[in-house]
Structure 1
């Protein structure tokens, strides 16, 4: 009986040591991933310039447009052919992969989009909400929303301008939005 208990105790000690090594390995990997993410963000907003490898920070990543209020960055996705267009869900997923969301339009000046781009507005249980969870308070509907049209596209450079309700499964171009880099944002990342 005593030898069985000793054998089981040794087995448990070996398993415990193996688990401790695995936990330490996972901690190191998590730290490396965190450093990699921080480095990617730093490189995206603060690319190295010149021979001295100095960094110059920008409020938006390369290719993104700074909003007039300087609080947000926009990426206008202009698909070149029908295969590149996306449904509302697909467009939202593309924005999330870019650490952004479909654009939330707070006032008419923010709506600088072109013809027929998905925006971050969707009707759920009969209520129109933005992707950030806020309620629709001001709207620029060209046509009043109708059944089976639970997402919205922005329409500009065509008369009339504003938003049009649309079936979420239709494919369009889209606009992503993320917060512009500020000193507080940069410090929280680093």
Structure 2
């Protein structure tokens, strides 16, 4: 009786033990599988991070190179601007205060050589009197020529200045039909000077026509001396700049 029960009782124990082994094995396999998956994901993530880091490092180096190049360009431009400023200053000094004598002493004048001093001694005028028509300029071209000389087309601000400009036009006009561009133009039906101010006192010979928007000074016996002309016509011109106080 004891022997039979013992034999019969051992079979269930062995069966439970086998199930436990299988369950344990499956658990271990699951752990290993999860660990493998996690390791694989981490490896892929690390690879991606390294790749991204490499890209960012490369981009950072490229940006640093571009920054250095821009800094060199800025320094070059700054140096060139300084040199141009010094050159311009020297050119202006030579124009107004040329060296004279063996000692190369400088004597300053209100106007550059070839320019006329106004009666008020506040402005200098350059009258372009070339007789060759091919050297004449449109209103825009004349203004650009003046600006290259650090001047602009003349702005007439008073009766005295108008008389002076009219005399200039008469003195330098070997033919009465010659005109000289002045710094007056009509924009949006309003006549304005090149300095941006509106026309307040005019000296028109005739009422300006609607299709002629630039003003020219002409030889005329009366105080008036302006004519409205087509801006594309080519004439002589008069530049004006501030006189140097000496």
User: Normalising to structure 1: TM-score of the pair?
Assistant: 0.86
CA distance in 2, matches of 1:136, 1:144: 14
Matched, 1:87 2:143: no
**Superposed displacement of residue 31, structure 1:** 1.2
**Superposed displacement of residue 17, structure 1:** 3.3
Larger radius of gyration: 2
Hey, which of these two has a bigger chunk of strand by percent? Answer: 1
Q: Which residue of 2 aligns with 1:186?
A: none
Q: Which residue of 2 aligns with 1:114?
A: 169
Say which structure, 1 or 2, has more relative contact order (CA 8 Å, 6+ apart). 1
Unaligned stretches of 5+ residues in structure 2: 1-49, 171-178
Q: Which residue of 2 aligns with 1:134?
A: 197
Q: Which residue of 2 aligns with 1:44?
A: 95
1:1-190 superposed matches below 5 A: 1=50, 8-111=59-162, 112=164, 113-115=168-170, 116-156=179-219, 158-160=220-222, 161-182=224-245
CA distance in 2, matches of 1:50, 1:131: 40
Unaligned stretches of 5+ residues in structure 1: 184-190
**Superposed displacement of residue 123, structure 1:** 1.0
The 3-state SS of whatever aligns with 2:137 is coil
Task: Single out whichever of 1-10 and 137-146 deviates more from structure 2.
Answer: 1-10
Hey, which of these two has a bigger chunk of helix by percent? Answer: 2
CA RMSD of aligned residues (A): 2.0
Task: Single out whichever of 103-112 and 158-167 deviates more from structure 2.
Answer: 158-167
Aligned length: 182
